[in-house]
Structure 1
Amino acid sequence: MAQIMQATLNDEDSLLSAERVRLSSMVPATFACGVCMDDLEEDYVARVDSCKHCLCRDCLRGYIRSKLQEHRYPILCPVCTAETNRSDAVGVVSENIIRDIGVSDEEYAVFEEMQMSNFSIILHCRLCKNSVFVDREEYQESRILTCPLPGCLHAWCKNCQQQIDMAGPPHSCDGSSELEHLMRERGWKHCPGCQTPIQKASGCNHMTCLSPGCNTHFCYVCGGMIVQSALRREVERSVTEHYRRCQLFEVPN
């Protein structure tokens, strides 16, 4: 008799255990929101992919909208940013979450513009008066900027904003490269004493530098220094000696 009763009790216990398992499987899974700390059903979860933090959709939607209004990019996980002494990387709210969370078209357009600005920069052209997005990395590496719009191709220096003739000499903000090119083109000379540019207008090839304190005499034909002196006799002697082997006057054809 006792064995029969024990067997009956065991059967009833097994049935109760099976029923508890069945009932527990019907209870929806829950999660704790990392912002409001409420326990909610899994249907309301929004999970940041990169860090796996779980938030309720309402909390994450409100957080995303606040960051879009502040024009903050990238939008970081609020749980990660609230944690102190964090050693691993901070999670980033992805584009898929923002698209799925339910923001307005205007808010999503703000996100797209911020996303684009992370990889590009707006270039304003003074010639055609238009603006265009260009690659940020290329912009940072370039010293000379060129408007990419068809029919424009206006070029200018990023540092000094001067217009640049791409067919001309290499650009220098202080004009030294352009001056060197012009001097070579016109045959002008530098004073060998102080490097002041000198252009001969007329007369002989004996040139006297007019820069204060220079006192350099040089030849406009060969560019060589004759003498650096303020003494008249020394200058006359050096000039005479130099033009024994060089040409003092130009001979007309």
Structure 2
Amino acid sequence: TTMEDAESPTMECFICREEIVFILLIRLLCGHYYCRECLGRRFQVAADDRRLYPPRCCDTKISSRTYGSRIDYHILKDYLYKKIEWDTKDPTYCSNDRCGKFVRPNNIRGQDAKCPCGVQTCTRCKRRSHQGDLECNGPIDTALQATLRLMRQRRWKRCPNCHTGIERIRGCSRM
């Protein structure tokens, strides 16, 4: 260590607890100090796991606008790419089973989402695009379809008020 290092004040990183030269630490809005590596890890984890997005400390969001310049460029790039996916209200993923990647909003025209792999996916039903076909009727609820099929097979009826499937076992035909 040099004479300057010995004289530089240090402080503990809130995450790794290492003593870091104070001027190298990053102070977050909540008041905690992070080293560059730990702050970068927060962004990387948020990019890898939607449950940990957005990155936080003490329930305070850690903004990429405010702190992005302080972390590794590649981590920031990965994070910003995933941020678009995590922030998209109704994300569309490629309908190609061998791809399945997120289709960025700038690759969507009308109902057609074009993946870089070349496959177009319908943004409403999330299956292959219906180009030239009839208009999409929206997503198919496979569980509902299976229930309706079972009701037909067993000759169940639907309640005229609440539409719940019912079966008359005995008694009169009044509800």
Whether TM-score is above 0.5 comes out as no
TM-score band w.r.t. shorter chain? 0.3 to 0.5
- What TM-score comes out, normalization by structure 1 length? 0.33
- What TM-score comes out, normalization by structure 2 length? 0.44
